[in-house]
Structure 1
Amino acid sequence: MNVARFARENARAIVFAVVVITLAGIYSITTLPSGIYPEVEFPRIVAVAHSGDLSPRIMQIAVTRPLEEAAREVLGVRRVRSRTIRGATELSVIFNPDADMPYALQLMQGKVDEVRPDMPAGTQVRVERMTPSFFPMMEFNVTGNLPPADLRDIAMFQIRPLLSRIPGVARAEVSASEEREVSVIVDPHKLNAVKLTLDDVAKALTNTNQVASVGRLPKDYQQYLVLATGELKSLDDVRHAVVAFRNQTPVYVGDIAEVREGVVDRTTLITGNGQPAAVISVARQIRGNIIAIADGVEQTLRENIASLPPAIRIAKVYDLAAFVREAVQSVSEAIIIGGLLAVFVLLAFLRDWRATFVAATTLPLTIVGTFFILHIANGTINLMSMGGLAIAIGLVIDDAIVVVENIHRHLAADETPENAAEHGTNELVGAVVGSTLTTVVVFIPLAWLQGMVGQFFAALSLTLSGAVLLSLFYALLFIPVPAARFLKAQRADGTEHHVDDRQLGWLGRRYEAFIRRAIARPIWVIAVTIVVAAVGGFLYFQLETGFLPEMDEGGYVIDYWTPQGTSLPETDKMVRRIEAVLEKTPEIAGFTRRTGTEMGMFATEQNRGDILVRLKPRNQRDKDAEEIISEQRAKFAEENPGVLIEFVQLLQDMLGDLQGVPEPIEVKIFGDDINTLLGLSSRIANKLKDVPGVVDLVEPRRGRHDHHGRREAAELGDQQPEDEQHRDRQHHEQRPKRLLLRFVLPTDLGRVANRHPLGRENLLHVRDRAPHVAPFETRRHRDHLLQIFAMELRGALDRCDFGSRRQRYHQP
């Protein structure tokens, strides 16, 4: 087939196709989602269950084991791993690499729903598929000279609805130390006098706080809905709720109890820059454009900041979009610089601006057209795809260079432009196609790799292969068209002449002399080649290895563990020393601290948490992230020797959590005796500390139960020391007995409540004032009472969710 003649005869159709591909590429650039990495699909589903304050052993029997057995029945499950702590369990379900994860999520949720009735009352189970979009892309600290409960209300009912409706936002979550509630403090003497129990009070409030439809009424040509409502809208409504009738006289809640505002018992602590704060985390939808969403979030906050109380301050502590924007911009600049250098080199060697222009036109056309290929393949703009495009720069222009140079040579041989374009292109069809396909077949197998690595390199392989194949199309079909029209060979006086190879200049002559000497001494050439290969192989084994390159991400995460059994206030006291060091570090722009919870989906003890640190822009600090981490590691070890601290980069932390392997290296020990496992783990940990390169070592600790499957032995201990169990029993016997009822007040209470007409979830505490009065003096009576009172009725009404109502039951 005469390719050049076909191109000349169909020149208009080819130019039209090039224009269409270019316009489609421009459109794709504006619509393709942007991200730091490809949309990797991890074959992993996580289920987290919470069930009050049940011990780890009871949690394992009543919650963890049913969940494990249900998970093993799901199609495609390869491994089930669970982690059980007091009152919570975390289940990690690993699937086969070829599993359909959206379908697997539905199956998993169905199996969990089947076993949910067999779990303790009130057990809450959340099942999620692990994707990069699950983790927050932005976080904000909401601080101010207000109580923590007020900060949460403002973040929850004023800021969160604004962010939730931004296109591309999947969810906006609010975390805070305190949540407002309504406390009903019952007097046990009055309660005993009217022969009632706390259960009666709870049921009465539950039955009162109802809205029921009693019928429809047509009147005056209109249809009316008749409602019977007993909603508790204020503290007075709670006080006037009827509990029972005695001698035909109503007994009100206010007659036997004190009703007042309060806050939920603290189980977590949230601070921002060392001050009480509410943290808003924004997560995107799958394939959401990170940059566009971030712009929408910041614009929304700017437009609505005036409507918030003047004391409120909103500070950004995590912004993945900024890192994505900077990374993509850096790669884009590298592509532009590489393209310009390629054009200058081409001009220097061809010494013909016409030939350089014709060859260089394929570079921007191919780059823009490659984005259209990405769009068709459901790709995204990320570091891997842009990196593949940067690698392809030299390969893309190479095909055009050889074709243009050959056409230029035929023009110098006194051929007409049409004949030169035809002969010059046809002579190189086989060579150009062969070299291009050789490049393609080298990179295509990268897309066949399994797991996360394969998904990463699939983006690079797709971009590079698409760009090279598109450049082949342009070199053989598009280049002959402008070459036949614009290229000419001329003498200095304007007439055509034949270019002598000797006119290549100094570099050409030196290269020719070098090649002649090399051909005359083949043994020396082979010897030098072997030496270079040997040196390269030696250096290969000396290089450091890792999945991600060393880079300054503009922030990092500090994971910390205080000694097992440490109370929440004591943990807070110890971690504040870490915050004091961070506040004194000039390179830090802000930070968020969580205690008793973590960024992500985990079952977390109260002695554990993380600190998300944001650094100032690189041009505003002299040290990179690794230098700052190294300095702080030494300071923290000196300030808090009893606190276990681990530093991790943001992206490494996210990828590790998505895979379920937060540490780069994990050592697992299997056996039947927990104490033996703990002893072995301590001995192994002591030896690992001496391994060169180890900086953070997370050792197993008592108090958590961590095992694989149903019957495999625990990696870590699940039994508390006897003294700790004794302390827990004493604490359990001495703490006030209470019944918790969570209900909805349609109108908010207190100072801040008037600013939130959307409604709020409130908590009713019913507890005795004196735990040692006569009805509770004996332990038998006390235990019996605790069994009756061990119940929590939860209800929620979120006006933002179109008034949906749900009830959950929880046994502490």
Structure 2
Amino acid sequence: MNLGAWMQRHRRSILFLVALLALTGVATALRLPITLFPKAEFPRVVVGLDAGDRPADQMAMLVTRPVEEALRRIPGVQEVHATTSRGSAEVTLNFDWGANMVELALQVNAAVAQLLPTLPPGTRTEVRRMDPTKLPVIAYSLTSRTQSLVQLHDLAQYKLRPLLASVPGVARVQVQGGAQEEYRITVDPARLAARGLALADVARAVTAANAISATGRLEDHYKLYLVVAVSATTTPEQLRRIVVASSPQGVVHLGDVAEVARGTAPQWIRVTADGEDAVLLNIYQQPGSNSVAIAQGIRQQLAAGHASLPAGVKLANWYDQSELVTASAAGVRDAILIGVLLAALTLLAFLRNWKITLIAVAVVPTVMAATTLLLGLFHMGFNIMTLGGMAAAVGLIIDDAIVMVEQVVRRVREGGAAQFDGRRVIAAALEFVQPLAGSSAATIIIFLPLAFLTGVTGAFFKALSITMASALVISFLVALLAVPILCDRLLAARDAARDEERGLVFPRLRRAYLRLLQRVLARPAWLLLGLLPLVAASWLAYGRVG
């Protein structure tokens, strides 16, 4: 049994399968994650170190160098780069592409945790993997002319941050800027020395006075209660009454040797919005989450809680990654609609048959839906690369449909209404298998190598390559199997009886084209002369490309 007989025998099954793939693709599209960038794991781990106000030379000797030496022992490290400044350092580890970054990040974290007891007291560390989710998906600014920066920071930290962290898909909410209130203790060295005390005594006394400890338990009616002693100080007067030392000569309070006043923690970064000091809320997404859904959830939560904000507080959105994604999706939608419209007008103008036009128009959304299904099977989602690949594939998909429909119609009309039957339609389609396969394969071969690139380029263009190749393969199969069967089912003998030589415009265009083609084929050198200006213009344009 040849392919034509098999297609005629199983035409209902083929159409049902194509329709099922399209419907499943539509259902998959509703569940695919939507992000700005494709899912990629960069082979880089960054270790952040913070040791207060330690000078840069001491920071490099006591913190950066021991961390570097410990991290170099991790298997697979290709390069270690460190940057040290006053009180902080950053160590960057580069690995091979394709390495298991989750496992390597755990090894880096373990190495840093093992080294932490030997570092100066108070040193803080942060280990983070580099991937596209390290950029905020949406960000807001808080400004006010009636509230202080301390109040704005507390509003963002203790009210808005828990509210936004509850949105599904949010990994963390970062608060930047503003001011943090603190109590500043300024010790008088002379009064301290007169009482035979040191700064360490003051530090121990203040630390001991701000503690929460379990002091016992109580039992009552089969219930056990834990007794907790809270000795936290909340006002400057309470701090002044802290006992620094006691002796037979008397008790020394903190107020006897130091001045206590309200203040704010030093800020090394100033954040502004619209020319005013501001507090920023940066929302980060979880890997594989839907950035558009996260942005919608954030806006809904802020709209619900906006009424509870203090008067005079302005909440403004200054960055929204989902807008770029929705704009890319709108571009794909417009490309599909414009392509379908132009293809329909072209077929109606030249073939003058609404059935043929309907067949070609139905191919584009069918192929796009089936491509979306493959994206789901490959654990991919919608992003600027996959959407760009779908937009670029629209023209090629329409081309496959048009050439197959034109081939079938031309062969059917050559035989006329008397010889019209389903076998002639299928035979016309099979006659065009090799040209169609060669055209599709040539395009696929161009994009397929992009899937095997390495580095940052490969991480991004792999999604584009897979999307384009999938769309073209599906387009070839639909054009080969579904289009001829639809032509067989929808076309009738009267469609084959139409005379293409009727009319005033198209016969004249065809005769003019034949005359021009005969002249060019008789003198091929004219064609080469016509190409030279195009080559020269392309060379000049290439030199001007930035």
Paired residue for 2:475? 471
Q: Secondary structure at the match of 2:71?
A: helix
Deviation at 1:542, TM superposition (A): 1.0
The 1:270–1:390 alpha-carbon spacing in structure 2 relative to 1, beyond 3 Å, is: closer
Matched, 1:92 2:96: no
Query: Match for 1:522 among 517, 521, 524?
Result: 524
1:293 corresponding residue in structure 2: 294
Equivalent residues in 2 for 1:74-93, closer than 5 Å? 74-93=74-93
1:372 is aligned to: 373
Match status 1:195 vs 2:196: yes
Q: Is the 8 A contact 1:417 1:485 kept in 2?
A: no
Map of 1:314-713 to 2, 5 A cutoff?
314-412=315-413, 413=415, 414-490=418-494, 497=497, 499=499, 504-529=506-531, 531-532=532-533, 534-535=535-536, 538-539=539-540, 541-545=542-546
Structure 2 contact 335–394 (Cα < 8 Å) conserved:
no
Amino acid at match of 1:19: A
**How many Å separate the matches in 2 of 1:50 and 1:105?**
19
Post-superposition offset of 1:257: 4.2
Provide the residue aligned with 2:211 in structure 1. 210
Output the CA distance in 1 between the equivalents of 2:370 and 2:544. Answer: 37
3-state DSSP of counterpart to 1:452: helix
Counterpart for residue 36 of structure 2? 36
Judge conservation of contact 2:331–2:391 (CA < 8 Å) in 1: no
Q: Is the 8 A contact 1:177 1:278 kept in 2?
A: yes
> Which residue matches 2:101?
101
Does residue 1:179 correspond to 2:183, yes or no? no
Find the aligned partners of 1:90 and 1:68 in 2 and give their Cα distance.
10
The structural deviation recorded for 1:194 is 4.4
- Matched residue of 1:139: which SS? strand
Q: Could you tell which deviates more after superposition, 63-72 or 180-189?
A: 180-189
Q: CA deviation at 1:462?
A: 1.3
Q: Deviations over 1:602-654 (max 9, x none)?
A: xxxxxxxxxxxxxxxxxxxxxxxxxxxxxxxxxxxxxxxxxxxxxxxxxxxxx
Tell me the equivalent position of 1:51.
51
Q: Secondary structure at the match of 1:83?
A: strand
CA drift of 1:521 comes to: 0.9
Counterpart residue type for residue 269 of structure 1: R
Gaps of 5+ in 1: 546-812
TM-superposition CA deviations, 1:721-779 (whole Å, max 9, x none): xxxxxxxxxxxxxxxxxxxxxxxxxxxxxxxxxxxxxxxxxxxxxxxxxxxxxxxxxxx
The separation in 2 between residues aligned to 1:541 and 1:268, in whole angstroms, is 44
SS of 1:8's partner is helix
| Partner Cα separation in structure 1 for residue 535 and residue 112 of structure 2 | 58
Matched-pair contact (CA < 8 Å) for 2:368–2:390: yes
CA distance in 1, matches of 2:537, 2:452: 28
> Is it true that 1:128 corresponds to 2:128 in the alignment?
yes
Superposed CA deviations along residues 692-748 of structure 1, whole A, max 9, x for unmatched, are: xxxxxxxxxxxxxxxxxxxxxxxxxxxxxxxxxxxxxxxxxxxxxxxxxxxxxxxxx
Distance 2:177 2:500 in 1: 79
- When residues 216 and 380 of structure 1 are mapped into structure 2, their CA distance, relative to the original with a 3 A threshold, is same
Alignment of 1:125-274 (within 5 A): 125-144=125-144, 145-188=146-189, 191-192=192-193, 194-214=195-215, 216-235=217-236, 237-247=238-248, 251-254=252-255, 256-274=257-275
1:9 matched to 2:9: yes
Within 1, Cα distance between the matches of 2:239 and 2:20? 69
Kept in 2, the 8 Å contact 1:71–1:111? The answer is yes
| Counterpart Cα distance in 2 of 1:297 and 1:82 | 37
2:56 maps to amino acid: P
Question: Does the CA-based 8 Å contact 1:177-1:268 persist in structure 2?
Answer: no
Percent identity of paired positions between Structure 1 and Structure 2: 35
- Deviation, 1:540, is 5.2
Counterpart AA for 1:123: T
8 Å contact 1:385–1:463 — kept in the other structure?
yes
Give secondary structure in 2 for the equivalent of 1:483: helix
Q: 1:134 to 1:500 in 2, by over 3 A?
A: closer
C-alpha change, 1:18 and 1:260, in structure 2 (3 Å) is: same
CA 543–43 in structure 1, closer or farther in 2 if over 3 Å, else same: farther
Q: CA deviation at 1:214?
A: 4.7
**One-letter identity of the residue aligned with 2:303:** R
User: Which whole-Å CA distance do the structure 2 matches of 1:16 and 1:490 have between them?
Assistant: 27
TM-score for the superposition, normalised by structure 2: 0.91
Deviation at 1:74, TM superposition (A): 2.5
Specify which structure has the higher proportion of helix: 2
TM-score, length-scaled by structure 1? 0.62
CA RMSD after TM alignment: 2.6
Q: Which amino acid aligns with 1:458?
A: K
Q: What is the SS of the residue equivalent to 1:269?
A: coil
Shift of 1:256: 4.5
- Confirm or deny: 8 A CA contact 1:41 1:452 kept in the other structure: no
CA distance in structure 2 between the aligned counterparts of 1:417 and 1:75, rounded to whole angstroms: 69
Give 1:215 shift.
5.1
> 1:65 corresponds to which letter in structure 2?
R
Q: What amino acid is aligned across from residue 348 of structure 1 in structure 2? A: A
8 Å Cα contact 2:80/2:92 also seen in 1: yes
Deviations 1:173-201 (Å, cap 9, x if unpaired)? 11224211123344555544543333122
Q: Alpha carbons of 1:50 and 1:510: their partners in 2 closer, same or farther (altered >3 Å)?
A: same
Deviation at 1:107, TM superposition (A): 2.0
Cα distance in 1, alignment partners of residues 441 and 238 from structure 2: 79
Quickly say closer, same or farther: Cα 1:89–1:301, change in 2 above 3 A: same
* Counterpart contact for 2:332–2:390, Cα < 8 Å: no
Q: State the secondary structure of the residue aligned to 2:175.
A: strand
- Deviation of 1:417 (Å): 3.7
Alpha-carbon distance in structure 2 between the residues aligned to 1:389 and 1:293: 24
- Measured at CA, do residues 444 and 50 of structure 1 come closer, stay the same or move farther in structure 2, by a change above 3 Å? same
- The aligned residue for residue 610 of structure 1 is none
Alpha carbons of 1:216 and 1:9: their partners in 2 closer, same or farther (altered >3 Å)?
Answer: farther
Q: Which amino acid aligns with 2:424?
A: A
- Answer whether contact 2:161 2:173 (CA < 8 A) is retained: yes
* Letter of the structure 2 residue corresponding to residue 28 of structure 1: T
Deviation at 1:393, TM superposition (A): 1.5
Taking a change above 3 Å as real, the CA distance of residues 3 and 347 of structure 1, as seen in their structure-2 partners, is farther
For 1:230 and 1:107, how far apart are their aligned partners in 2?
40
Give the partner amino acid of 2:390: L
Unaligned residue ranges in structure 2 (runs of 5+): none
Take 1:463 and 1:268, find their aligned partners in 2: how far apart are those partners? 43
The separation in 2 between residues aligned to 1:118 and 1:238, in whole angstroms, is 33
- Offset at residue 152 of structure 1 (A): 0.9
Rounded to whole Å, the distance in 1 between the matches of 2:152 and 2:395 is 55
Structure 2 CA distance, aligned partners of 1:506 and 1:36?
51
Q: How far did residue 500 of structure 1 move? A: 5.8
SS across alignment from 1:506: helix
1:256 to 1:61, Cα distance in 2 relative to 1, 3 A: closer
- Shift in Å, 1:465: 1.0
Q: Which amino acid aligns with 2:174?
A: E
Q: CA deviation at 1:202?
A: 1.8
The structural deviation recorded for 1:151 is 1.3
Q: CA deviation at 1:323?
A: 3.0
Residue pairs, 1:694-773, within 5 angstroms: none
Matches of 1:410 and 1:537 in 2, distance apart? 40
Report the Cα distance in structure 1 between the residues aligned to 2:187 and 2:63, rounded to whole angstroms.
33
Is contact 1:105–1:129 with CA below 8 Å preserved after alignment? yes
Q: Please give the secondary structure, in 1, of the residue aligned with 2:78.
A: strand
